[in-house]
Structure 1
Amino acid sequence: MPMRLLLSGFAAGLLAVPTFHQLAIWALYNAGLVMNPPFSMRPVEPFGLPRLLWISFWGGVWGMLVALILLARPRLSTMVAAVTVGLLGAATISMTLAPALRGLPMPILDPSRWWRPFLVNGIWGFGTGLILATLRGRMR
């Protein structure tokens, strides 16, 4: 059961990127609130993978973290765990470590930019929670 939950967490996080995360970016991009377009297939370092695949992979890794939390706290709501990981984990890393590794300025230094990562990663967490809850329902 734990391995199935971990794989389901990975699948949920991976699928939530194109369906929730990128659709949120699409809406923000079309509203003129973000500069980078969604569904980018531009290669990213270090492996030259298309950006959408790269961030989908990391969405899956974050989904596995949600699954690990649920294994440790089985009574915790799937939605609460997923949204919390999106808001606190993924958003914080996207504002600090990710840009630092790429040599880019960190949005954490500019409070007027904080809302974007929290909104987009919170929506990713919501999507991950919905997908994972559905998969967990089928696992039982």
Structure 2
Amino acid sequence: MNSSGTTATAELGLRLVVPDRTAVPLVARLDYTADDPYAIKVAFHTGEDEPVEWIFARELLTVGIVRAAGEGDVRVWPESGNGERTVNIALSSPFGQAQFDAPVSPLAEFLHRTYEIVPAGREGEFVNLDAEIEQHLLA
């Protein structure tokens, strides 16, 4: 895991849950930056040339460690079994669906680092609204 004063990154080992088959291990890279304080970018390395990228609300992942959260395209919920605490992440898009599980501890450690960079409730202080509006007007 790496972090600076404004960014945090981590590699997270997780498993792709495949019905009626053994789970497939994968690695995901998590990226957080104070420039986009509400979001965490997750790049799933699936063996293809380019990773599959999703953007999650930081709060969704945080709540999902403790209780079920999300609806629609992204759902996150905790699970305990065999003495191991995991978090499940279910993704749905027009291109398909996937479910992953990951150990809670490294995800919680990464999230903790993001809250050291931008504390909960202070995200708005890190958003430059003028730059965001200008970017959208020029697009």
TM-score, length-scaled by structure 2: 0.34
**Higher strand residue share:** 2
Bigger RCO (CA 8 Å, 6+ sep) = 1
**Higher helix residue share:** 1
TM-score, length-scaled by structure 1: 0.34
